[in-house]
Amino acid sequence: MTPASIVPNVLEPIESVLRAKNPFANDSVSDPFADSCPSVDAIHYSKFQQIRNLVAQKAANPSAGLGVLILGEPGTGKTHLIKRIAESADSKDKFLVSYIQPIEKTGLPYLHLLRQVMNSLRKPIKGNRSQLDWILARWLLEHLRPQMKSPAMIRAFEEVPERILNADLTSLKQTPATDVSLPMVMRRMLVFYQNKEYREVVADWLTGEAIDPEYLKIMRIPDRVNASRGDRSEEAVELLVGLGSLIGRYGYCLLVCFDRWENLASKEQIEATGLMIIELYDRIPGMLPVVLSLKTRWNDFFSRYLNMNVTSRINNNFFVLENCDQAQARAIVASRLASVLGERANGIEPFTEDHMEIICANGRAYTATPREIIDLANEQLHTLLYPHDVRSTRFDDILEVEYARRYDKKLEELRQSAPDPDLLLRAVKELLAGLAYAQLQFPNENGCTRQPDLFVDISVADVKSRKLAIIIDTAQHHAAVGAAIRCGIRCLTDKDDQNHADKLLYVRDARYPIQAPPKWEATNNLYRDLLNRGAVPWSLSIADTAAWHTVVDLVYAVKEGDISFAKHGRTVIVTNAELSKWLTETILPARPEFAQLWQTINP
């Protein structure tokens, strides 16, 4: 009996269901929030229990200096393990998850940490409510309860604190909160979170943004637009401490996950990440640092560049994820089939033992990673469902499918998250890195004056070389926008300036446009001057931004070895070179989301 053969009456009743939804489609994710695949409790069971106990300890004692290091090779299930821990939360132990993207600009690591934590807290989790809603609803109830006269109202809010976010409480006197555990300015801002009109503004402010002066007047808080780098760093830590205090007060523990270490390309990036981790140990309550890394790279490379204070503490609780044995491999296959077939599932059917021998072995001595098992099961299922169709294993086709899958998720995420200039900058770097005639240069980010985000020296045969400056501006405060525009004007006009450029691409997120006159009149005048001097404006739609974020997500995944497929019974991993070639030759010149960048590079 060959692996492809099967008793027809086993496959026929379930064939249409499996064709409609493939239980073994590649669904590797970089974010525990996006992980929807079923769990197999037996896999990494003891490590799951030990890590969960550490998280519960942190929830019980928010100031405890605890952390977790999880090591494993690609596909061993590091991210999925975090999802399992978060889902195991009960009424006593309530776990939240924050996923920290690799830092791009290393000058303000604590501000990066604040932004990443807030981006995760703002994402809707259940019923359009975010983790931030859960936390601040409880704080608002605590603050406003003394003014509530109705026992029924108080009971309703105590049963479901999130109800307070939908209630009309205009009759209550909005007195400043007296919670001395929080900075005074933070207390003033949080009171406004109950009002739906100001909720996003408060969340933006908590993210470290300089918000519009109109809101500053209403909320009576100082303007941070001219704050020094030192002040911004210290304020970021204060806000993290405040958020952590609330997280711990209401019985939660926030898992702050540092993954994607393969995408930290420089010593400075690794050191900046170490600073964030040690700050979580030393000063920020309620938040547990969780480091997820490839085992070999952690031991041979990353730990060398981290401060001894970081490695000595994070190594106190480290766990190494192993491959699956054959029983666990069968459990993965059966659980995936059951997630699609429901009551019609019957163990490993429609697979036979011959299929399972191929799926479990993968050329090894009885063990494989969960992802290898899923890839091989996917290949075998395709053979059963489409016996006359040869599945494409061209890297271009694999990447196209991955791009489409990830794009849909990024588009949905962006509807609920603030702009991330670091991700946009990383996308530009990756899209241009494969062009032989475009050399990337990075400005010194240690100064206080606004700098361009990237320079590109373009040298084409028989054409005079030229220098392109790129500014990515997501600021919401007119003064910060004005500073970015003045930087662009200097680049185009001052030939003695080290940042002088022949051309400038000015990129803004369309969700935060430059406000039209009579608002921001001086800023609008500067913007017209910039355009008159030849700057190329680019307003990124939400679809454009999702495409840029998807490029970065693909880059992160490929560098970690997370995009793979089965070919002739073996797993194959997509390489960095294959992705770079695909981005340069297929994506950048052809996709409308990147058209302005391509046209500016190739006028």
Question: Confidence band (pLDDT; 50, 70, 90) for 2?
Answer: very low
Q: Give dist(CA 591, CA 587) in Å, integer.
A: 6
Cα–Cα distance measured from residue 329 to residue 331, given in angstroms and rounded to the nearest whole number: 5
Q: Are 111 and 331 in contact (CB under 8 A)?
A: no
Instruction: Tokens 């933070």: give the residue.
Output: 186
| Interval 474-488: pLDDT, tens | 988 999 999 999 999
Check residue 36 and give its pLDDT.
65
Question: Are the beta carbons of 477 and 213 closer than 8 angstroms?
Answer: yes
CA–CA gap between residue 387 and residue 8 (Å, rounded)? 13
Q: Is the pLDDT of residue 437 over 90?
A: no
State the pLDDT at residue 576. Answer: 92
Burial (0-12, 13-18, 19+ Cβ within 10 Å), 163: middle
DSSP letter string, 465-480: -EEEEEEEE---SHHH
Question: Are 59 and 252 contacting, i.e. CB atoms less than 8 angstroms apart?
Answer: yes
Measure the CA–CA gap between 522 and 297, rounded to whole angstroms: 51
State which amino acid sits at residue 420.
D
Q: How remote is the C-alpha of 563 from its chain's centroid?
A: 17
List, in order, residues 6 or more apart from 480 with CB less than 8 Å away: 210, 225
Average pLDDT over residues 273-290: 96
Q: Do the beta carbons of residue 71 and residue 296 sit within 8 Å?
A: no
Q: Where are the alpha helices (DSSP H) in 175-266?
A: 184-191, 196-206, 213-219, 229-249
Q: Which two tokens stand for residue 417?
A: 């998250």
Residue 195, phi-psi category: left (phi > 0), alpha (psi -120 to 50), beta (remainder):
beta
Any idea which fold 421-540 has?
Answer: Trna Endonuclease; Chain: A, domain 1 (3.40.1350)
> Which of the two residues, 419 and 586, has the higher pLDDT score?
586
In this model, does residue 366 exceed pLDDT 80? no
- Going by pLDDT thresholds of 50, 70 and 90, the confidence category of residue 360 is confident
Query: What pLDDT, on a 0 to 100 scale, did the predictor assign at position 28?
Result: 63
Across the range 495-508, mean pLDDT stands at 88
* pTM for the structure as a whole: 0.88
Mean pLDDT of the chain: 87
> 145: Cβ–Cβ under 8 A, 6 or more apart, which residues?
154, 157
Residue 383, pLDDT > 80, answer yes
Residue 30 confidence (pLDDT):
59
Nearest alpha carbon to residue 380 among 402, 396, 346, 357: 357
Report the C-alpha gap between 314 and 528 in whole angstroms: 52
Least confident window among 9-13, 66-70, 398-402:
9-13
Query: What pLDDT shows up at residue 387?
Result: 84
- Rounded to the nearest 10°, the torsion over CA 428, 601, 539, 233 is 40
Structure confidence at residue 399 (pLDDT): 93
pLDDT, tens digit, for every residue of 109-137? 999 999 999 998 988 776 678 889 999 99
From-to residues of CATH 3.40.1350 in the chain: 421-540
For residue 89, name the pLDDT band (cuts at 50, 70, 90). low
**What phi and psi values does residue 148 have, to the nearest 5 degrees?**
-80, 125
Question: Given this model, what pLDDT does residue 363 score?
Answer: 46
Range in 99-108, 287-296, 565-574 with the lowest mean pLDDT = 565-574
Residue 488: which residues within 8 A CB-CB, separation 6 or more? 452, 469, 471, 504, 506, 530, 535
The neighbour count for residue 86, using CB atoms within 10 Å, is 21
Question: 170 versus 19: which is more confidently predicted?
Answer: 19
Q: Name the more confident of 603 and 441.
A: 441
The residue behind tokens 């994402």 is 123
Tokens 């003045």, residue?
Answer: 486
Check residues 300 and 453 and name the one with the higher pLDDT.
Answer: 453
Average pLDDT over residues 549-577: 88
Res 497: pLDDT: 74
Structure tokens at 42: 């037996």
The pLDDT value recorded for residue 499 is 81
The 10 Å CB-count burial string (b at 16+, else e) for 360-392 is bbbeeeebbbbbbbbbbbbbbbbbbeeeeeeee
**pLDDT greater than 90 at residue 84:** no
Per-residue pLDDT tens digits for 503-542:
999 999 998 899 988 889 999 999 999 999 999 999 999 9
Return d(Cα 158, Cα 465) in angstroms, integer. Answer: 67
Q: What is the dihedral of CA 414, 418, 422, 424, to 10 degrees?
A: 40
Of residues 450 and 401, the one with the higher pLDDT is 401
Q: Which residue has the higher pLDDT, 95 or 122?
A: 122
* Residue 430 and residue 551 in contact, taking contact as beta carbons nearer than 8 Å: yes
- Report the alpha-carbon distance of residue 40 to residue 77 in Å, rounded: 11
Confidence (pLDDT) at 66: 95
Nearest to 236 by CA among 264, 214, 205, 213: 205
pLDDT at 320: 94
Query: What average pLDDT does range 410-418 have in this prediction?
Result: 82
Give yes or no for residue 225 having a pLDDT over 90.
no
96 near 252, Cβ under 8 Å? yes
The neighbour count for residue 575, using CB atoms within 10 Å, is 14
Is the pLDDT confidence value at 215 over 50? yes
Tell whether the model's pLDDT for residue 1 goes beyond 50: no
Where does the pLDDT of residue 193 fall: very low under 50, low under 70, confident under 90, or very high at 90 and above? very high
Residue whose pair of structure tokens reads 């890839």 in the numeric block = 375
